[in-house]
């Protein structure tokens, strides 16, 4: 069935479409219907069905006779080690951990915070919670103590599962002192903490509160899967909020299992027994959906990678993992590919590895500029598929459905809307705009299964954040356009559309031009305040390693290129070369923060920032150029 037929099937009969998808997973009691819309605009899916996510991820594959297949491969270039865990071993480990948690009083509906690095035990902790019907909330390992404390107070966990440490190239990240400080600061206190001791650092346990991962499981009866309703929360994942108070995105169990199971075959072309690798972290939504749950729902093998795209040990580490573990579909962020390209512009390291197993590279997390896509296509010789989704949606809003039909790729576009998503581009009055016209990207309600039904204990905030600006629509916060073929283009966050003398311009379109310069490895465009035009664009350039030539000439080149390709209306006159750009740990460039620095405004570095010192470097560069930065 072609994409068009699949999408039209959903449009014609959404109820039937999702009930067919629901039949592909295991239910204790099948749902009577798909959509429950009695409380619109708050919707639920498969609410009266009964199932268990851990059963669908683990036990059913053992029951089907595939217990000896690898479920998880852990590859850690930082510790120079790798190991495999079969589905049968995973079942035993998860049931044991769940039994130990149950013996300490964890029951259906209790919250458990997980604060761990990229080790298989992080997935086991998530699955053990799901096995009991407990609601997990994974916090990115190494997050500052205050940020962890805020999340402890919001979801009030009965227990916290943590590791003694995380590992970065050349350093150990001490998790346990951060955890202790967070619990001291939080008003809510967990009843107990489970600590997974890593050999690189053995943490001091606090008597009466902390228990060791292995010893607290000793002699405990393994736990069976606890059935839960389809609308039972499976997890809470916090995403940064504009108020500084993080938003707890909730995921309901039924829709989560059905949507992710559907996505593996239809979007990523992954079947049982295939190897799938998402190079992200369990602390982000990609880690939840495509390191832990979706590959296991599909009966595939998932790769848990503890390393970096460059520096562990070089820019060839991605290709080594793909070769050694026969990865079929690989998913990473464009920023990771740009980092690899910056270190190895000619792709020489790619030639050292046999990548015959690889069928496609999938990119998401931020906009994939056409130049990066073209480079990866040329060097890897496989389709490079950008797709677009959010923490809130849990799976792709727009993609090229590789498992349904190999649609033509349009560089710069995450392709077409997936079934369940009625994507609309609206003007400021909420009216649809013609093809090719920049506007706010929305999704007509209801959102499909697997997306957020609300925020944790914050229905009013959910309505205000997502449902109020455009009634009847979910507001994505992204700006872009649909072309005449129905392909979507994400050009910027709504906040990153700048207004130059009354013209609404996309920073993404300018970045696309800048990244086309042969010397530019990475770039960002921001809008800075201007007394005459309101805002003026400013470009920041990171140059490729080994680039010879005058950086000043590169800046002149890109100014000319923007004038030629976008036009004088862009008023693009300033480009600055910097060593690195400020990013979150998941790879998103902090454009809004950079704009505040340039405008001399007060700002608070986001809790998710990877290296805070980069902001100081940006401030110094701007100050030297006469901007009021950090003055």
pLDDT digits (tens, 9 = 90+) for 338-349: 999 999 999 999
The answer on pLDDT for 242 being more than 60 is: no
Q: Residue 228 pLDDT more than 90?
A: yes
Distance (Å, whole) CA 375 – CA 357: 20
305 pLDDT higher than 60: yes
pLDDT at 451: 98
Q: Which of 141-155, 373-387, 452-466 has the lowest mean pLDDT?
A: 141-155
The residue among 592 and 244 whose pLDDT is bigger is 592
Q: Give yes or no for a contact between 516 and 372, defined as CB atoms under 8 angstroms apart.
A: no
Residue 393, classed as helix, strand or coil, is coil
pLDDT digits (tens, 9 = 90+) for 170-219: 899 999 999 999 999 999 999 999 999 999 999 999 999 999 999 999 99
125-134, 392-401, 577-586, range with the lowest pLDDT = 577-586
Please state, in angstroms and rounded to a whole number, the distance separating the CA atoms of residues 531 and 527: 13
Which among 328, 249, 234, 256 has a CA at the least distance from the CA of 21? Answer: 256
> Of 243-247, 278-282, 332-336, 532-536, which gets the smallest average pLDDT?
243-247
* Higher-scoring residue by pLDDT: 630, 59: 59
Which pLDDT value is given to residue 503?
67
The predicted pLDDT at position 495 comes to 66
- Confidence grade of residue 628 (pLDDT, cut at 50, 70, 90): low
Which residues are CB-contacts of 605 (< 8 A; sequence separation ≥ 6)? 593, 612, 615
- What's the pLDDT at 107? 98
**Residue 260 CA: distances (Å) to CA of 27, 118, 253:** 15, 21, 11
> At residue 569, does pLDDT exceed 80?
no
Helix (H, G, I), strand (E, B) or coil at 435: coil
At residue 449, the pLDDT reads 98
Query: Residue 582 pLDDT > 60, yes or no?
Result: yes
Distance CA 303, CA 325 (A): 8
Does the pLDDT at position 539 exceed 90? Answer: yes
pLDDT at 244: 57
Structure tokens that stand for 625 in this block: 């150029």
**pLDDT tens-digit profile of 5-56?**
999 999 999 999 999 999 999 999 999 999 999 999 999 999 999 999 999 9
Structural domains in the chain plus CATH codes = 3-424 (3.40.50.12780), 499-624 (3.30.300.30)
Read off the pLDDT band of 600 (50, 70, 90): confident
pLDDT of residue 629: 47
- Check: CB of residue 577 under 8 Å from CB of residue 551: yes
Res 608 pLDDT > 80: no
Write down the pLDDT at residue 554. 95
Which residues does residue 475 pair with via DSSP β-bridges, in sequence order? 442
> DSSP label at 43?
-
Q: Are 107 and 138 in contact (CB under 8 A)?
A: no
pLDDT reported for residue 631: 39
Question: What rounded mean pLDDT belongs to the chain?
Answer: 93
Mean pLDDT computed over 220-238: 98
> How high is the pLDDT of residue 327?
98
- The string of pLDDT tens digits covering residues 401-431 is 999 999 999 999 999 999 999 999 999 889 9
Residue-level pLDDT at 241: 57
The reported pLDDT for the residue numbered 454 is: 97
Task: Report how far residue 367's alpha carbon sits from residue 490's, in angstroms, rounded to the nearest whole number.
Answer: 7
């Amino acid at each position: 069935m072609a994409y068009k037929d699949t999408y039209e099937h959903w449009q014609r009969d959404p109820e039937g479409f999702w009930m067919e998808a629901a039949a592909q997973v295991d239910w204790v009691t099948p749902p009577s219907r798909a959509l429950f819309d009695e409380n619109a605009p708050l919707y639920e899916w498969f609410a009266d069905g009964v199932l268990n996510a851990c059963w669908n991820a683990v036990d059913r594959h053992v029951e089907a006779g595939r217990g000896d297949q690898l479920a998880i491969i852990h590859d850690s270039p930082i510790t120079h080690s790798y190991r495999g865990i079969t589905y049968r071993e995973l079942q035993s480990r998860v049931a044991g951990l769940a039994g130990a948690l149950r013996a300490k009083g964890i029951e259906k509906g209790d919250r458990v915070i997980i604060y761990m690095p990229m080790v298989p035990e992080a997935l086991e902790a998530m699955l053990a919670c799901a096995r009991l019907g407990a609601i997990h909330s994974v916090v990115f390992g190494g997050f500052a103590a205050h940020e962890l404390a805020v999340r402890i107070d919001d979801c009030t966990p009965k227990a916290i599962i943590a590791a003694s440490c995380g590992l970065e190239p050349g350093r150990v990240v001490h998790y346990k002192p951060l955890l202790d400080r967070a619990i001291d600061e939080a008003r809510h206190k967990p009843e107990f903490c489970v600590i997974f001791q890593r050999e690189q650092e053995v943490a001091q346990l606090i008597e009466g509160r902390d228990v060791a991962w292995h010893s607290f499981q000793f002699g405990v009866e393994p736990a069976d899967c606890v059935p839960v309703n389809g609308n039972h929360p499976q997890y809470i994942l916090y995403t940064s909020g504009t108020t500084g108070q993080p938003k707890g995105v909730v995921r309901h169990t039924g829709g989560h299992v059905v949507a992710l199971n559907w996505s593996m075959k239809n979007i990523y072309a992954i079947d049982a027994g295939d190897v799938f690798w998402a190079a992200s972290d369990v602390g982000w939504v990609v880690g939840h959906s495509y390191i832990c749950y979706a590959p296991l729902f599909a009966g595939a093998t998932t790769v848990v990678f503890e390393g970096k795209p460059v520096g562990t040990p070089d820019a060839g580490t991605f290709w080594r993992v793909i070769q050694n573990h026969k990865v079929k579909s690989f998913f990473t962020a464009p920023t990771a590919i740009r980092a690899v390209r910056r270190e190895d512009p000619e792709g020489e390291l790619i030639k050292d590895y046999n990548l015959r197993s690889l069928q496609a590279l999938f990119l998401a997390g931020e906009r994939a500029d056409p130049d990066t896509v073209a480079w990866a296509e040329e060097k890897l010789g496989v389709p490079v598929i950008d797709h677009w989704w959010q923490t809130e949606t849990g799976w792709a809003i727009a993609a090229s459905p590789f498992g349904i039909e190999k649609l033509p790729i349009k560089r710069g576009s995450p392709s077409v809307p997936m079934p369940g998503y009625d994507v609309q581009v609206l003007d400021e009055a909420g009216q649809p705009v013609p093809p090719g016209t920049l506007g706010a990207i929305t999704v007509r309600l209801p959102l499909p299964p697997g997306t957020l039904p609300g925020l944790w204990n914050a229905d009013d905030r959910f309505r205000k954040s997502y449902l109020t600006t455009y009634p009847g629509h979910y507001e994505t916060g992204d700006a872009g356009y649909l072309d005449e073929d129905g392909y979507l283009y994400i050009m910027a966050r709504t906040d990153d559309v700048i207004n130059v003398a009354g013209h609404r311009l996309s920073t993404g379109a300018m970045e696309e031009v800048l990244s086309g310069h042969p010397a530019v490895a990475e770039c960002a465009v921001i809008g800075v305040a201007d007394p005459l035009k309101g805002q003026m664009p400013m470009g920041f350039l990171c140059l490729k390693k080994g680039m010879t030539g005058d950086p000043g000439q590169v800046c002149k080149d890109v100014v000319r290129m923007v004038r030629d390709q976008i036009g004088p209306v862009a008023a693009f006159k300033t480009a600055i070369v910097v060593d690195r750009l400020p990013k979150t740990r998941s790879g998103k460039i902090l454009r809004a923060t950079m704009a505040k620095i340039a405008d001399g405004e007060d700002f608070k570095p986001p809790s998710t920032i990877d290296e805070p010192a980069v902001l100081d470097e940006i401030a110094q560069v701007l100050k030297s150029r006469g901007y009021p930065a950090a003055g």
